[in-house]
Amino acid sequence: MIYGVKFSSNGKVYYFNGKNKKYNKNINVIVETDKGLQYGKVVGIINEEKLLKEELKDIKDIIRSTTKKDYNNYLNNLKDASNALKKGQELANELNLKMKFLNCEFTFDRKQLLFTFIADDRIDFRTLTKKLAAIYKTRIELRQIGTRDKASNVGGIGPCGRELCCTSFLKKLGSVSINMAKNQNLALNPNKINGLCGRLFCCLEYEDGEYTKMRKGLPVVGNTIKHNGVFKNVIEVDILNRIITVVDEKGNIEKVEYNESIK
């Protein structure tokens, strides 16, 4: 059986093979990864048919359920990683590296210590890596991430009032373009179309197909249409409801449900 496992509450779901053993939802498990053993939580049983071939390729195993000793080791790793995060930032500041650390975590078996950070430019952190390795006696990995990844890791509430898409359910951050905002007739004001990360809303990408379908055949603002034998100018378009707002030469404004009789 294939199980979905998370390593943190806001983290991505990873897939692991249960090797014919049954694990209940919300139980903690030790899993095998490319970086070493990890401590995670089962979040669900996965239908293999719904997974992509790439997601099933080289899938790793769940080693076992956790013990009380495992849990204590996990808590100790969290504490040490928190201290390592502070130490890493101190060393970066001493080396005048313009980088801000966001997170730090040990693998469960402490074979690797991973730091994630943001920076405006590429950073030469070779000296920093050597200093950290000398202190923690393990493999050090420093990973630079973008602002969208930062928002996904930190989490928050979007202007829609819901938890950020990238934190709650999006498994992969897609490519979002300004044309997607235009496709929804949104005002191209950064304050209106950018998320907490300062980049275009992720929802523009997965809503784009529906807006493209619903606006098919609709006029655009500025077009002139003939309605009930009278020529009128389009001043607003409600794409999802397929309703247009028009004004005639006398200044009369009305909302019209668009259909094929309107030309």
From the list 196, 202, 191, 254, the residue with the least C-alpha distance to 225 is 254
The three-state secondary structure class of 60 is strand
CATH number attached to the domain at 72-145: 3.30.300
- pTM over 0.75? The answer is no
Exposed/middle/buried for 199, CB within 10 Å: 0-12, 13-18, 19+? middle
Of 102, 105, 112, nearest to 145 (Cα)? 102
Paired sense of beta strands 60-65 and 14-17, if any: parallel
Structure tokens of 45? 């049983």
pLDDT tens sequence for the chain (263 residues) = 889 999 987 777 888 988 888 999 999 999 999 889 999 999 988 877 666 666 667 789 999 999 999 999 999 999 999 999 999 999 999 999 999 999 999 999 999 999 999 998 889 999 999 999 999 999 999 999 887 777 777 778 888 888 888 877 776 777 899 999 999 988 889 888 998 888 899 889 989 999 999 988 888 889 998 888 889 999 999 999 999 999 988 888 999 888 766 66
Q: At what angle do helices 68-94 and 126-136 cross, to 10 degrees?
A: 140
The secondary structure of residue 161, as a DSSP letter, is S
> Where are the domain boundaries for CATH 3.30.300 in the chain?
72-145
